Structure 1
């Protein structure tokens, strides 16, 4: 065994003449352990919220989405699209046509984002998971249905199954408003509310309405154009590979996005919050690590006679310095390992028992308890960052001792 490490270990676990050194060492270990535990738990909770967001959007957003880089709509009945849509791994394609419109129900009216979809959307999106009222329907015989967000339903004062339809007003393209008869500038349609959904995202719940794409084309005066093509992949197909091949077939005129890119603002915000919180905890850890500095400085003072004895026996200065360097690293390592173990244990308990809840009222939020997802990479990052901070901080008292050895 390395002699410096052996002496450092004996110093760490042996009783000191001044009890304050023992107390400060214990406080140092506890401080590092608590800060490390907090880092593991916070990163895991943010991963959990990311998983919740991903789960909600995966029920609605397609695995791949093709849109035009310029203009609102495009016609995909072209040779490049024929090649792109023959790419291996594509399982299903759904047409989508989006535009702003006005919904009116009785004496209430509200602007909405109209999303016309084809029948394939029923199989592409897991609407049953986000529906809170009614059923997802598009067209039955000659009757059109719409599924609207929960906030939009509340604003209009309507629910699924009401006998009166919603009136839909869409501005006519390339026509000026006739001030004498403003209503002539709109194409008017109607649809019954078939279902109400909730994604707990205002941009969807308060604004989005899904209607049959045939009705959308009638209202917007389009024939075969679409705003986007939504793609569902075959089981086991690689999103990255299929996306790359479609981009190669279509060129630079079209944008192909996966789920993360479709909701990049939401995911980016979560990542920013996650790592900003991590940095704040790292600063708190830095304060806790100063206890290690204090503990080492006091230990150096107490062991001055031992240092003289080692030097008189021929021990080089490097051996003496390594004793206290290892002492600081041992204190830090014990705190880091204890913190990671405690953090993982707390995350495991939270996953299985939901100890910390978001609300005392069940169903008030999407999840009742704080969601937790532990990722190995996050644990490795925590271990590495805390080790570096502790390792660098310990160098200060050791450098002080190096200067002091010249006078001993």
Structure 2
């Protein structure tokens, strides 16, 4: 039997008398429990928001997007398209044209990205689910239509029920500004058929048109801006991405859903880890209770120390008694805090106890989203153990060198 561990356990759970040391021990453990719960709950909520934003983007974006590393457009005939289509797991293939243009509706003007999409665009996205007004179609009875982002529609003051078209102005390729600016622009018009809503940065940026309309407007000819691929639900997207990247070489980017909005997801991950380290720092401050607790326990147990020494217990093993005491407080507190934190997250996922302020029935969620990730729980628990070790080691080391005649290293 490990005698120092047995004695430390007795000191922790034995409550024959209630004194200030017992109270401080309880406060120390409570601080560890609350700190661990806070880390797990807050980080899980941030995971939930990240997953929610990813879900929004996944409804609008393809599984993989191929674009040139240099220049805005490229000729698809310069790559082996058939080889890409033949990659196992690739379900849909689409060529799109994107370019910025100036929109004008009545007296309102607004710059937006015109995205020309093929007829199979609804097949590999959930654009129909994103519509908040109107019906999705880009051409009907020989008339060109557009699906506007909600932000674009709001800025222009345009709507599906309005009769006036949206006018589009694009600089002509190779033309310099002349005394008559009208000659330097390609102009066209189309009618709104629907309005979609995803996230503000997309809603206020994109309008969808047919690929034929976009090619003629931008004079792109056979060139395209990107190739969008839809993958089978059971396919290994990472492996397919590597395979296609090896086919295309370094002249092209092959981006997954997250990489298509790299800045957004990197920012959210940075915020998550910043919050994590702030909470860990608070836990470090809370561990100061443990330092005081072990110091007072060391002083209170002087008689026990003398008895143990007279029984032949070395200074090294006596020190381990108090070191194990601190570790037990950290371990038990971290374990309870982890269980409670996961339990609170489960309650929120199951019953949606805490609602989002200002959320209405029209919003996709009404309560704080939560996603539990095992690695985050493990990191939180390891952080508690490391902090507990450091907070236990220092007071034992200090008290050993000042209050025991014998000097040994722990």
Q: Which of residues 221, 224, 237 in structure 2 aligns to 1:223? A: 221
Q: Which of residues 223, 234, 238 in structure 1 aligns to 2:236? A: 238
Aligned-partner SS, 2:77: coil
How many angstroms does 1:83 deviate by?
A: 2.6
**What is the match of residue 85 of structure 2?**
85
CA contact (8 A) 2:315 2:406 kept: no
Following the alignment from structure 1 to structure 2, what is the Cα–Cα distance between the partners of residues 357 and 377? 26
How many angstroms does 1:365 deviate by?
A: 5.2
Could you give the per-residue CA deviations for residues 292-349 of structure 1, whole angstroms, max 9, x where no partner exists?
1111111111110110111111112222111111111111112101111111111111
Following the alignment from structure 1 to structure 2, what is the Cα–Cα distance between the partners of residues 73 and 260? 22
Following the alignment from structure 1 to structure 2, what is the Cα–Cα distance between the partners of residues 308 and 20? 22
Runs of 4+ in 1 over 6 A off after TM superposition: none
Q: Does 1:380 align with 2:387?
A: no
Worse overlay, 6-15 or 24-33: 6-15
Q: Which of residues 379, 388, 400 in structure 2 aligns to 1:390? A: 388
How many angstroms does 1:17 deviate by?
A: 5.8
**What is the match of residue 175 of structure 2?**
175
Could you give the per-residue CA deviations for residues 114-158 of structure 1, whole angstroms, max 9, x where no partner exists?
111111112111012222111221112312111111111111111
Worse overlay, 52-61 or 249-258: 249-258
Q: Does 1:277 align with 2:262?
A: no
Following the alignment from structure 2 to structure 1, what is the Cα–Cα distance between the partners of residues 232 and 21? 64
Aligned-partner SS, 2:66: strand
Alpha-carbon RMSD:
1.6
1:149-160 alignment runs, 5 A limit: 149-160=149-160
Q: Does 1:69 align with 2:69?
A: yes
How many angstroms does 1:199 deviate by?
A: 1.7
**What is the match of residue 32 of structure 1?**
32
**What is the match of residue 371 of structure 1?**
369
**What is the match of residue 59 of structure 1?**
59
Following the alignment from structure 1 to structure 2, what is the Cα–Cα distance between the partners of residues 129 and 370? 22
Following the alignment from structure 1 to structure 2, what is the Cα–Cα distance between the partners of residues 323 and 188? 83
**What is the match of residue 259 of structure 1?**
257
**What is the match of residue 355 of structure 1?**
353
**TM-score scaled by structure 2?**
0.95
Aligned-partner SS, 1:59: helix
Q: How many residues align?
A: 406
CA contact (8 A) 1:47 1:373 kept: yes
Could you give the per-residue CA deviations for residues 257-289 of structure 1, whole angstroms, max 9, x where no partner exists?
111111111110110000000101011101111
**What is the match of residue 208 of structure 1?**
206
Following the alignment from structure 1 to structure 2, what is the Cα–Cα distance between the partners of residues 9 and 88? 59
Aligned-partner SS, 2:27: helix
Could you give the per-residue CA deviations for residues 181-204 of structure 1, whole angstroms, max 9, x where no partner exists?
2112111111111111112233x1
Worse overlay, 352-361 or 340-349: 352-361
Following the alignment from structure 2 to structure 1, what is the Cα–Cα distance between the partners of residues 153 and 72? 27
**What is the match of residue 293 of structure 2?**
295
Aligned-partner SS, 1:97: strand
- Structure 1 residue runs of 5 or longer lacking an equivalent are none
Following the alignment from structure 2 to structure 1, what is the Cα–Cα distance between the partners of residues 93 and 196? 22
How many angstroms does 1:360 deviate by?
A: 4.1
CA contact (8 A) 1:172 1:187 kept: yes
CA contact (8 A) 1:350 1:356 kept: yes
Could you give the per-residue CA deviations for residues 336-372 of structure 1, whole angstroms, max 9, x where no partner exists?
0111111111111111222222214414755321100
**TM-score scaled by structure 1?**
0.96
Following the alignment from structure 1 to structure 2, what is the Cα–Cα distance between the partners of residues 201 and 147? 16
